[in-house]
Amino acid sequence: MDMNKPKTENRKPKTALRIFLTGVGGQGTLLASRLLGEAALVAGLNPLVSETHGMAQRGGVVVSTVVLGAQSPLISPGEADVVLGFEALEAFRALDRCHPRTLVIANTAAIVPYPVAVGQAKYPEISEIMALLAGQVGGLLAFDAGALARQAGSPLAVNMVLLGALAATDYLPFPSAGLVDLIRTRTNPKYLEANLQAFQLGQGAARDAANWLKKLKD
């Protein structure tokens, strides 16, 4: 195991894997799921990818799944091995998909929904919902992916940050180089350098946050 990767008690990648991605419209959730699916396909696996757009154009919830080693792309409650939460509250709302060994990689940046913006509701304290989430899952890597995307030169590169963070763990059954190659071929040349930088910053953020990762039990 790469000593720079977040520790998961010598957990080895497996070809049976369920990844649940959730965010809001405009964050690149669907592109991230497609890249994961293509990388798995290139590696000789048999990925199933599902997308639920919702009201993506209006900032509504967007959910997608990438499933390896199963007959259906659906992820029922309690079945997700990995959750990529592109927005803090949406990451918390995915708790029902988690089981006690699930790894959650969460963007702590908030995108205020309409009811909160007009004063009809209150956005919960992010530190509180992250603490609640951490207590129910196998591991939590939480950091401000939006800030890292802006640092990389593109506020739209949150998806690349989270993909980089996932690649820095030992959960994927294919090398991170496969994802990088796809980013190079699927990205508009205008945004390529920013996306690659965002991916690298995500890897670093996962390693920095690893000390918060709960040890998984055998």
Walk me through the domains of the chain, giving residue ranges and CATH numbers.
17-111+119-143+171-188 (3.40.920.10)
- What is the per-residue pLDDT for 14? 61
- Could you give the CA distance from residue 118 to residue 50 in angstroms, rounded to a whole number? 33
On whether the CB atoms of residues 21 and 32 are closer than 8 A, the answer is: yes
In 10 A of CB 75, how many CB atoms? 22
Within 10 A of 215 (CB to CB), how many other CB atoms are there? 9
> How far does Cα 83 stand from its chain's mean position?
6
In this structure, are residues 111 and 24 in contact, taking their beta carbons and an 8 Å threshold?
yes
Question: φ, ψ for residue 19 (rounded to 5)?
Answer: -115, 125
Give the pLDDT of residue 115: 64
Q: Longest Cα pair distance anywhere in the chain, in angstroms? A: 50
| pLDDT at 197 (0 to 100) | 97
pLDDT, residue 5, reads 40
In order along the chain (218 residues), what is the average pLDDT of each group of 10 residues?
38 74 86 94 93 61 92 94 95 95 94 67 86 93 95 95 95 92 91 96 87 43
The reported pLDDT for the residue numbered 150 is 96
Task: Confirm if 33 and 51 have CB atoms less than 8 A apart.
Answer: yes
